Amino acid sequence: MKKIINAVDQVENQMIEGMVKAFPQYVKKLDCGNVVVRAEKKTGKVALISGGGSGHEPAHGGFVGKGMLDAAVAGAVFTSPTPDQIYEGIKAVDDGKGVLMVVKNYTGDVLNFEMAAEMAADMDGIEVKEVVVNDDVAVQDSLYTTGRRGVAGTVFVHKIAGALAEKGASLDEVQAVAQKVIDNVRTMGMAIKPCTVPAAGEPGFELADDEMEIGIGIHGEPGVEKKPLETADEIVDTLLEKILADIDYSGSEVAVMINGCGSTPLMELFIVNNRVADVLAEKGIKVYKTMVGEYMTSLEMEGFSITLLRLDDQMKELLDEEADTPALTVAK
Amino acid sequence: MKKIINAVDQVENQMIEGMVKAFPQYVKKLDCGNVVVRAEKKTGKVALISGGGSGHEPAHGGFVGKGMLDAAVAGAVFTSPTPDQIYEGIKAVDDGKGVLMVVKNYTGDVLNFEMAAEMAADMDGIEVKEVVVNDDVAVQDSLYTTGRRGVAGTVFVHKIAGALAEKGASLDEVQAVAQKVIDNVRTMGMAIKPCTVPAAGEPGFELADDEMEIGIGIHGEPGVEKKPLETADEIVDTLLEKILADIDYSGSEVAVMINGCGSTPLMELFIVNNRVADVLAEKGIKVYKTMVGEYMTSLEMEGFSITLLRLDDQMKELLDEEADTPALTVAK
Amino acid sequence: MADVKKVIEIIDKIIADVDEQKLFLTELDNVIGDGDHGINLARGFDAVKTIEDTFESKDIGAILKAIGMKLVSTVGGASGPLYGTAFMKSGALLNGKTEMDMNDFIEMLQVSIDGIMKRGKAVKGEKTMLDAMIPAHDAIKASYEADGDAKKALDAGVKAAEEGIEYTKTIIATKGRASYLGERSIGHQDPGATSFTLMLKAVQELA
Amino acid sequence: MADVKKVIEIIDKIIADVDEQKLFLTELDNVIGDGDHGINLARGFDAVKTIEDTFESKDIGAILKAIGMKLVSTVGGASGPLYGTAFMKSGALLNGKTEMDMNDFIEMLQVSIDGIMKRGKAVKGEKTMLDAMIPAHDAIKASYEADGDAKKALDAGVKAAEEGIEYTKTIIATKGRASYLGERSIGHQDPGATSFTLMLKAVQELA
Ligand SMILES: Nc1ncnc2c1ncn2[C@@H]1O[C@H](COP(=O)(O)OP(=O)(O)O)[C@@H](O)[C@H]1O
Ligand SMILES: Nc1ncnc2c1ncn2[C@@H]1O[C@H](COP(=O)(O)OP(=O)(O)O)[C@@H](O)[C@H]1O
Ligand SMILES: [Mg+2]
Ligand SMILES: [Mg+2]
Ligand SMILES: [Mg+2]
Ligand SMILES: [Mg+2]
């Protein structure tokens, strides 16, 4: 394991400290743990809270700020944060208008966030609602699984629901638009190089020099299959085919996110987008907006995911609303 | 060589195409080659042009847009672009107010940009001036070298000179502020993993499992020494010591950039910033603004650089001016 | 069966065993999950260790509750709220008691199972810790009700839990991260079923 | 010494040799530069190949100018403008000529050296292509002036260029990327001196 760190048991703390020290104009850390909230509490609005394991930077702390999240809670690497920390986050950001939790669909995340919500409701009478993001089409959504995983599409939920909350909408309205994003967003990823959880010291999976994993999750969980490495165009075609088969994008406008997994050079992400743009154009799917970069990473995993969000007028407008956070700024 | 690409001789083209397709609202490509200019030419201002080899994404195409560059010219990977392409870029963006070339201090870049400037002056009577960025303190600036290399600090030149140009300043004024940034900016980097130029197929240098290279350049050029891997804090201390010894930062305000080399997880960059912030605080150097992310990469090299820019009031103001480009947005 | 001192002794052993088995549990989770189960539990029981000195002055219920809260606030992941709930429910059950007997233990397993099933929305046969817990509970209960021999009952419980682990190898996961694997999860044992068995063995050995 | 046909033959050989030596030149550049010298030159001479069919109808000056412009617009890096300048200056010198003799060639080397020195702001002894070019020019000139034997002169030129390569191993680079290495550049030969020698050898063999 070759990493630029100090100590395995300090990575989460020092990561959060380093982030908060970099962006004091945007965020501060609560004393109780790795909970990041806006530097200045925005009052009179529904609060958005999200989070999950660490190792997905800039998610989620990087999206705390104007027009996106009010709080982000970071667990240990790839491990859901605990209810007490989430609970502190909820208490810190609630302003009487209620709190929406944006949870990625993992048993751990769902259990811990729900426990926190119960605590906030029982002990403090805070109204807490939840949406569960499940955009990963690599795994089947069937009765026999815990459903699709939540991956990079989550960032679109933060952006769009965050914009509506910033405008003063009610908790129900913010939850509804978040759910609408979830219903319309699909993602699929791949990797050519695994990542190593610092505390584990060994890579989470193995890939031969000529192999890739198609349908990888954001913790290196396998998806569809391990197979010989192909060209960027072939890989894009495989991923897009799965995504486009899942919901009907024909004739619609979409937002595209090409997300790097942590150690994929931007050059390669642009080469990927070159093909994505061509295929969508061929199919008559209009690209309204494209994002290319690192939004939901997996430590130093090498690979990428493609996310397509089918847009309507409301989502388009909210996507374009001003946002000002450490990791995503949209100028008006 | 394990990369997500299509063909070795297509990486530059497809990268540029993919970038332009991602950000049509910001940039377009000239027909004549890998020259990216603003989607809508901004008239009535001094034009800024920069560029260099490909493989440093988002530099420089990602910084084309409001408040930064007017054009960026991309050569082959790690190879200066050619004069004819730079010349086309100069012609495309000049609006009679003159053009400032922001060149990184490499023989190839300097020779090619200067040849292009001669062409534009001789054939089209365009007034072209130049600044040469040389922020890398890893290599000595002595009579016996070509001087320090230009690295990540270049992005501060784009931002600050770009902001002044956007406000309508004259070519001399824009050149002067660009030179002021250059005089006050210093950078040093390190790497724990090399990168592979696609056309070469083999890594540019070798590092053992427990080794790092201190003072690495953005093409993997060696700098100070190869030595056993240390903790993040120790590495930061080594780099900062060199930077702080080069010009006197005491009592001043600085802008900090923690730049990832291409495959360094953001988590590690934040851990690095945690130490940088602490050391600067200890030394009484006030941090005015911090940027953490990938600004000037080296394909998939793993490592980072620290840049410190000593600020005055003019630079502070221009740093905060609105910018809206694919890779850097500053909201007003 | 156990007084406060004995309970502390058992907890002590669990802390040590989890630490010892940390890599093994993580390795199991690496194959069908995300490779952190051992790390998660070790982080939790390391934290329990830091409050162990407060246990002597507490009753068994209070001790179990404190452990549950500690686990909930330090383990994270899926197993944190699940084991945390189990200990908290057990604590509520044994509230005020300074001695517990086999019937208490059997009921404690039952409330733990109920708590985990409710929180995790899981049933038997989904390749989770429940596939060791439920057979263990049933075997202990049946054996103890038959002849009142505590040692024999605990032996039967451990045997059933170990068979439960073997059983998890034969089924597809439909809960937790392993469910993403579908068919590919067959052939591998469940980390949670394994960690539960480790804890039960500590009870068997010392109670 | 050479008519248009011969010049084209020589260019042909240079294109082939650069392609063949591409990896070797790149490897040399890897050690003290950025590992692209062979790739850069090959990209340039591949592009020259695409305009070769226009050469037959041109005079030697026009051919060399076209090559220079092609190199400038395709090679990039430091060597692009430098070799490009050398060919363009040579083209200007031989403007309108359909035959060239040894004196033309010697003068062509001289204007190339001058052009490169001016553009690159370099002198002899800085570990660049000049350290092969200058001795080669001097040796050819001296030998040819002594006895008028072209073949002998070219042999002397190649020998001097090769000694120039050896010489670059002994000195510190003070120009180009290799200068970043300081002392560490000692012991390694300069890629540009090597590629110039390769070109001169094509002339020696065919002229
Ligand atoms: N819904 C559930 N009900 C009961 N047990 C579960 C459930 N989901 C997961 N588990 C158990 O949790 C274990 C995994 O725990 P752990 O690795 O610590 O958490 P995570 O899966 O979040 O990384 C599994 O081996 C399984 O026994
Ligand atoms: N200032 C200079 N004057 C003359 N030759 C130079 C100069 N700088 C570099 N060179 C030559 O260029 C060669 C490197 O060319 P190349 O690798 O193609 O370009 P780059 O260094 O930009 O990657 C060096 O080996 C050296 O011979
Ligand atoms: Mg986990
Ligand atoms: Mg080069
Ligand atoms: Mg796990
Ligand atoms: Mg080179």
Query: What integer pLDDT is reported at residue C192 of this predicted model?
Result: 98
Query: How many domains are contained in chain A?
Result: 2
Per the prediction, chain B carries an average pLDDT of 96
Render each residue's pLDDT in chain C as its tens digit; 207 residues: 899 999 999 999 999 999 999 999 999 998 998 888 999 999 999 999 999 999 999 999 999 999 999 999 999 999 999 999 999 999 999 999 999 999 999 999 999 999 999 999 999 999 999 999 999 999 999 999 999 999 999 999 999 999 999 999 999 999 988 888 888 889 999 999 999 999 999 999 998
**Where a domain ends, among A144, A159, A174?**
A159
Q: Are A254 and A280 in contact (CB under 8 A)?
A: yes
In CATH, the architecture of D2-206 is: Alpha Horseshoe (1.25)
* Ligand 2 pocket member B107 (CB < 6 A): yes
What tens digit of pLDDT does each residue of B40-61 get? 999 999 999 999 999 999 999 9
A 292-331: CB under 8 A from B: 292, 294, 297, 299-300, 302-304, 322, 324, 326, 329-331
Q: Does residue A3 lie within any of the structural domains?
A: no
Measured from the alpha carbon of residue D131, the closest ligand is 2
Three-state SS at B63: helix
Say what the ipTM of the complex is. 0.89
Compute the distance between CA of residue A284 and CA of residue A265 in angstroms, rounded to an integer: 29
Neighbours of chain B (3+ CB pairs under 8 A): A, D
At residue B23, φ and ψ (nearest 5 deg) are -130, 55
- Sign for the CA dihedral angle at D197, D199, D200, D206 comes to positive
Ligand nearest the Cα atom of residue C83: 1
User: Residues B140-191: pLDDT tens digits?
Assistant: 766 567 889 999 999 999 999 999 999 999 999 999 999 999 999 999 999 9
To the nearest whole Å, the CA of A14 is away from the closest chain B CA by: 5
* Cβ atoms of A26 and A68 closer than 8 Å: no
Query: Considering only alpha carbons, which residue of chain A is nearest residue B7?
Result: A231
- Which pairing describes strands D2-3 and D99-100: parallel, antiparallel, or unpaired? antiparallel
What is the end-to-end Cα distance of chain B in Å, rounded?
Answer: 43
**Do B202 and B313 belong to one domain?**
yes
Question: Would you say the C-alpha torsion D48, D50, D56, D61 has a positive or negative sign?
Answer: negative
- The whole-angstrom separation of Cα B191 and Cα B211 is 9
Same domain? For A121 and A254 the reply is no
Domain check: are B187 and B324 in the same one? yes
Q: At A101, is the secondary structure helix, strand, or coil?
A: strand
Q: Kindly list the distances between the CA atom of residue D5 and the CA atoms of C61, D50, D109, in Å, as whole numbers in the listed order.
A: 101, 17, 20
Which runs of E-coded beta strand occur in chain A?
A: 27-29, 35-38, 47-54, 71-77, 99-104, 128-133, 185-193, 211-214, 225-228, 253-260, 286-293, 302-310, 323-324, 329-330
B108 reaches D (C-beta below 8 A): yes
Task: Specify the CATH number for the domain of residue A14.
Answer: 3.40.50.10440
Contact A275, A309 (CB under 8 A): no
pLDDT given at position A146:
80
Q: Among candidates B283, B288, B279, B276, which has minimal Cα distance to B250?
A: B283
Number of residues that this document lists for chain D? 207
> Measured between alpha carbons, how far is A16 from A61 in angstroms, rounded to an integer?
8
Express each pLDDT in C109-128 by its tens digit. Answer: 999 999 999 999 999 999 99
Token output for B294: 């990938």
**Which ligand has an atom closest to residue D75 CA?**
2
Euclidean distance between CA atoms A147 and C180, whole angstroms: 8
CB count in 10 Å sphere of residue B130: 16
Has residue B234 been placed in a domain?
Answer: yes
Residue B170: inside a domain, yes or no? no
- List CB contacts of A328: < 8 A, sequence separation 6 or more: A58, A62, A63, A68, A155, A159, A295
Q: Which domain holds residue A251?
A: 183-328
Please report which confidence band the pLDDT of residue A143 belongs to, taking 50, 70 and 90 as the band edges. Answer: low
**DSSP assignments along A260-316, one per residue:** E-BS--HHHHHHHHHHHHHHHHHTTPEEEEEEEE-SS--TTBEEEEEEEEE--HHHH
Give the nearest chain B residue to D82 (CA atoms). B111
C62 CB contacts (<8 Å, ≥6 apart)? C91, C95
Can A56 be counted among the known catalytic residues? yes
pLDDT at B25: 97
pTM to 2 decimal places: 0.92
Asked, for residue B1, whether it belongs to a domain, the answer is: no
Q: Which of B111, B144, B221 is facing D174, going by the closest CB pair? A: B144
Atom of ligand 1 nearest to the CA of A106: 22
Distances (CA, A) of B114 to B83, B90, B241: 8, 12, 34
Whether the CB of D39 is below 8 Å from some CB of chain B: the reply is yes
Exposed e or buried b for every residue in A126-135, given b needs 16+ CB within 10 A?
bebbbbbbbb
A1 inside domain: no
Report the catalytic residues of B.
56, 219
Q: Is C41 left (phi over 0), alpha (psi -120 to 50) or beta?
A: alpha
Chain C residue with minimal CA distance to A8? C39
Q: Does residue C146 contact residue C153 with C-beta atoms inside 8 Å?
A: no
Q: Which of B91, B92, B90, B93 is nearest to B103 (CA)?
A: B90
- A113 and A226 together in one domain: no
Are residue A222 and residue A116 in the same domain, yes or no?
Answer: no
More confident residue, A158 or A143: A158
pLDDT score at B140: 75
From first to last of its 207 residues, chain D has per-residue pLDDT tens of 899 999 999 999 999 999 999 999 999 998 998 888 999 999 999 999 999 999 999 999 999 999 999 999 999 999 999 999 999 999 999 999 999 999 999 999 999 999 999 999 999 999 999 999 999 999 999 999 999 999 999 999 999 999 999 999 999 999 988 888 888 889 999 999 999 999 999 999 998
3-state SS, residue B168: coil
Task: Among A267, A302, A326, select the one facing B15 at the smallest CB separation.
Answer: A267
Q: How confident is the model at residue A224 (pLDDT cuts 50, 70, 90)?
A: confident
Q: Alpha-carbon distance D13 to A315, whole Å?
A: 62
Torsion of CA B48, B52, B54, B56, to 10 degrees: -80
Q: How far apart are CA C39 and CA C18, in angstroms?
A: 9
* Cα(A12)–Cα(A22) distance, integer angstroms: 15
Is residue A180 scored above 80 in pLDDT? yes
Assigned token pair, A132: 């569960």
**Above 80 in pLDDT, residue A144?**
no
Placement of tokens 């165009």 in the chain: A233
The answer to whether residues D114 and B116 touch, using CB atoms and an 8 Å cutoff, is no
Distance A183 CA to ligand 5 centre (A): 27
Chain CA centroid to CA A287, Å? 21
Is the predicted pLDDT of residue A15 greater than 90, yes or no?
yes
Is D73 near chain B, with CB under 8 Å?
Answer: yes
Q: Using one digit for the tens of pLDDT, what is the confidence trace for B291-322?
A: 999 999 999 999 999 999 999 999 999 999 99
Residue A47, classed as helix, strand or coil, is strand
Q: How many helical (H) and strand (E) elements, i.e. helices and strands, does chain D have? A: 8, 2
A2 with B229: Cβ contact below 8 A = yes
Q: Which amino acid is at D174?
A: T
Q: Would you state the pLDDT for residue B165?
A: 98
Looking at ligand 1, which atom is closest to the CA of residue A108?
22
Q: How far is the CA of B271 from the centre of ligand 3 (A)?
A: 22
Pair A110, A211 in one domain: no
Domain locations in chain C as residue ranges:
2-206
Say whether pLDDT at B279 is over 70: yes
Q: A150 to chain C: which residues are within 8 Å by CB?
A: none
> Distance from the CA of A108 to the center of ligand 3, in angstroms?
7
Amino acid at A313: D
Indicate whether B199 and B95 sit together in one domain.
no
Query: In chain D, which residue's Cα lies nearest the Cα of B147?
Result: D180
Shortest-distance Cα residue to atom 7 of ligand 2 = D176
Q: Is residue B193 part of a domain?
A: yes
Q: Does residue A250 lie in a domain region?
A: yes
User: To which H or E segment does residue B38 belong?
Assistant: strand B35-38
State in Å: Cα C129 to ligand 5 middle.
13
Asked which of A143, A159, A175 is the last residue of a domain, the reply is: A159
| Nearest 10 degrees: Cα torsion A315, A316, A322, A328 | 80
Q: Considering only CB atoms, which chain C residues are within 8 Å of A53?
A: 76
Contacts of D108 (CB under 8 A, 6+ apart): D90, D93, D94, D100
Extract the runs of DSSP E, i.e. beta strands, from chain C.
2-3, 99-100
Residue of B13, B57, B68, B270 to mutate for A, most A C-beta atoms under 10 A:
B270
